[in-house]
Amino acid sequence: MSGFIWNLISFVVAIGLLVTVHEFGHFWIARKNKVLVKRFSIGFGKAIYSWRDKQGTEFVIAMIPLGGYVRMLDERIDPVLPQFKDLSFNSKTVWQRMAIVSAGPVANFLFAILLLWGMYLIGVPNIKPVIGQITAESIAAKAGVPSDAQITAINGEAVEDWRAISLLLVEQVGSQTVNITVQQLEGSDQSYQLDLTDWVFDPDKQSVFGSLGIEPLRPEVLNEISQIQPGSAAETAGLQLGDKLISVDAKPVADWNSLVTLVQNSPDKPLLFGIERQGQAMEILVTPQSREMADGFHQGYLGVSPKVLPWPEHLLFTQQYGPVQAAVVGVEKTWQLVRLSFSMIGKFIFGDISVKHLSGPISIAQGAGTSADIGLIAFISFLALISVNLGVINLLPLPILDGGHLMYLVLELIRGKPVSEKAQELGFRIGALLLLTLMGIALLNDISRL
């Protein structure tokens, strides 16, 4: 199955599931408050399949699987007979309407907790966050952060893995300092304050800890070929599996990273490789292929992968809990994602993060496909993240979103009367324009990353 088809299927499954959860939140609370739900639609456009329940709600699966909606009986939209007036949305109290509107985002947050609860019941394979090396002259190096030490906390918040560290560090974008606590081997915890004044972080090019000069401890990479891509420069030149790369143009190969750098800087340039094959030394002339990068520059490409030794056993662990503790961890992780999402929105507004980092449907589809390809745990984690993001975005005070409706209801609660329909209509138009602008920017960002 092609990558595009796999990404598309994963995207449709993810969005369809999360939208269903969101709309079910509105639907369930509306029913609890005795509001007649006329239609519950997953997707937009022409109905592919529909049915009607005993209470008169039409359930629809529509052709375009990029959203959904719940349509309730409302006197502001539909002509309502007097005997059905008590079943309309607008006849309910402000508090009831607020509960119905907020139920969608709340359902997304609860679903994220459920997903993470299940994930930690199954068990999450993980790697201890041990620092392999500190990049010279980096922010971490200037703060004195040592290598061969395990990170135990960020700003006093305990961490167990690199993902937790990434989330907490991203939250510090725009801050002046961050405190990192590490535990050296056979030593006690020590905290280091990193000066973030000159911190430059581009998530499209590097990891957040890499931007600070912190390189995770990884398995040893040998200068030995373990994979060769068909039709690559390596196959054309005659390189074979198991070949050990000793030198290039008579200069010793220090490590695989230095070899990669040399090859990338030599597109279409012949290189004389000194190799060892089955104990015999020999030389092979190899010309790296040239490929154009997103920035217009060309890089050399060999088409080989190195042999990587297994992870040391002492770095591997599984985060697995019983039902109660898994629920507690699920709530904690969901709250962390909610907090981070609102924090990122604030950083976009105040310019700490560029709009070029906004992601749209293409990036989400790629993320869904990649996580599904990795395995169930990765896909569950991805679903939880997107579910939280969907809930947070819907709480933004844009009139076209749930948050905008809540804003009008809060104003109604304060004023003692509804906001005029003219003011609401103007707000909806402005909200739609802003939302479409953001979606357009996100889509252009997606296309530029392809």
Among 339, 317, 336, 316, CA closest to 328: 336
Whole-number Å distance between alpha carbons of 249 and 288: 14
Q: Is 58 a catalytic residue?
A: no
Are 388 and 344 within 8 A, CB to CB? no
CATH architecture of the domain formed by 125-219+310-319: Roll (2.30)
Residue with tokens 């510090």: 172
The torsion defined by the Cα of 145, 262, 205 and 356, in degrees rounded to 10, comes to: 140
What are the pLDDT digits (tens) for 158-200?
Answer: 888 888 888 888 888 888 899 999 988 667 788 999 998 888 8
Is the pTM higher than 0.85? The answer reads no
Phi, psi of 131 (to 5 degrees): -75, 125
Whole-number Å distance between alpha carbons of 222 and 241: 13
Residues in the chain: 450
* Pairs from 269-273 (Cβ < 8 Å, separation ≥ 24): 269/300, 272/248, 273/237, 273/239, 273/245, 273/247, 273/248
The predicted structure's pLDDT at residue 294:
60
The predicted structure's pLDDT at residue 34:
93
Are 66 and 84 within 8 A, CB to CB? no
Phi, psi of 95 (to 5 degrees): -65, -40
Residue stretches of the chain with pLDDT short of 50: 1, 357-358, 360-369, 371-373, 446-447, 449-450
What are the pLDDT digits (tens) for 284-331?
Answer: 998 998 887 766 688 888 889 999 888 888 888 899 999 999 999 999
Could you check whether 125-219+310-319 and 221-308 share the same CATH topology? yes
Say which CATH class 221-308 falls into. Answer: mainly beta
Domain boundaries, given as residue ranges, for the chain:
125-219+310-319, 221-308
